[in-house]
Amino acid sequence: DIIRGFHEHRNCEVLTARQMGKTTTAGAYLLWYAMFNPDKTILIAANVLRQALEIMHRIRTTYELCPDHIRAGVIAYNKSSIEFDNGSRIVAQATTPNTGRGMSISLLYVDEMAFAAPGLLEDMWTSLSPTLSTGGKAIITSTPKTDVDMFAKIWKGANDLTDEYGNPNSENGEGRNGYYAVS
């Protein structure tokens, strides 16, 4: 369900308990997306840099375990980014007001969004929204924290399957805010 949500919907939000494999699943999807879709920029934003680098470590490990015949060639390979010979790249950063600023992002992955500092998260979201509004994809995963943080607000909108008049609007399963909810 998680991978289907990532693949079939432009914006996807995943809410699960801890240690359910959401980050590992997302990392595998990001690697596939980069290797098989040329000229894409994928940004991983985590609440702290240590977590973003941990996700990159999982992606690098998965890449190294791929069979040679499907593994894309690599131009640059370090702790915080991987660049492939097809023009795609994966970059990991901590959530700050300037995260992703100046980048043309094809796919944004925000891990543990509910635990990012609220003011920083809103600033980052504001700076990335123009990129996402021009066709970029967004994947958000987290365990819950409160009922009022940004993750919770997006989750509620993703589960609101009505139109502006209150009529059912669930043709594609996306909520009123354009996000598809997976739990």
pLDDT of residue 170: 66
Tens-digit pLDDT profile for residues 49-108? 999 999 999 999 999 999 999 999 999 999 999 999 999 999 999 888 878 877 889 999
DSSP track, the chain: -HHHHHHH-SEEEEE--TTSSHHHHHHHHHHHHHHHSTT-EEEEEESSHHHHHHHHHHHHHHHHHS-TTTPPPEEEE-SSEEEETTS-EEEEEE--TTTTTT---SEEEEESGGGS-HHHHHHHHHHHHHHHHTT-EEEEEE----SSSHHHHHHHHHT--B-TTS-B--SSSB-TTSPEEE-
Range of lowest pLDDT (50-54, 101-105, 151-155, 177-181): 101-105
Question: Residues with catalytic annotation?
Answer: 112
pLDDT band at residue 13 using 50, 70 and 90 as cut-offs: very high
Q: How far apart are CA 90 and CA 69, in angstroms?
A: 20
Cβ count near 158 (within 10 Å) = 26
pLDDT of residue 60: 97
Instruction: Name every residue whose Cβ is closer than 8 Å to that of residue 149 and which is 6 or more positions away in sequence.
Output: 113, 114, 118
